[in-house]
Amino acid sequence: MDKRINYKRIIPVAIAAIVLAVTFRSVIFASYVVEGESMEPTLYDGSMLMVNKVVYDVTEVDRFDVIVFRATEEEDYVKRVIGLPGDTMIYENGKLYINGKYMEEDFLDSYAEASGVAPETEDFTLSEVTGEKQVPEGHLFVMGDNREDSRDSREFGFVSVEQLVGKVDVTYWPLSEAKLSYGN
């Protein structure tokens, strides 16, 4: 039995695998590094993320998804989806009401655990911060999890779905904070 390695077969397979891996990674996923504290303690300054760039081509954005979007020509932001098209929204006594229904924000529990206090979200209605009664079609209302230190839709208004880069699927650095999914 001949145990020699047949390099003529292995090299093309290895090259094809590398090309596929690079293509898969660059077309479907993008790497991002979090800058700032607006998503703490869900994501920390310096956290490294993998963003799924094609998920919203085949499915709708869900409430509480963590997304990356183009904020300006030079900057992308990472925030959490709070309001979807057609939603009305009220924050009252630290509680979120969407379309008149109270919505649990379980992801904020980690903020209370990390800081020892519940996050403060000042009372507001959608119309007070955006001038609109509902989230317009084709737009989202987004907020950072660190509600007291976040530039978000309360400041800059709605985010067009055209601005979406994708959904945060994986945090891979630091390893102590590694996680495979966010949102629903």
Catalytic machinery residues: 38, 79
State the greatest distance between any 2 C-alpha atoms of the chain, in Å, as a whole number: 79
Query: Which residues lie across from 89 on neighbouring strands?
Result: 98
Q: The dihedral of CA 176, 184, 39, 97: what is its sign?
A: negative
Question: For residue 32, which phi and psi values (nearest 5 degrees)?
Answer: -135, 150
d(CA 63, CA 61): 7
| Sheet strands (E) in 53-176 | 66-70, 76-83, 89-92, 95-98, 101-103, 124-125, 139-143, 159-160, 164-173
Q: How many helices (H) and strands (E) does the chain have?
A: 5, 11
d(CA 38, CA 145): 6
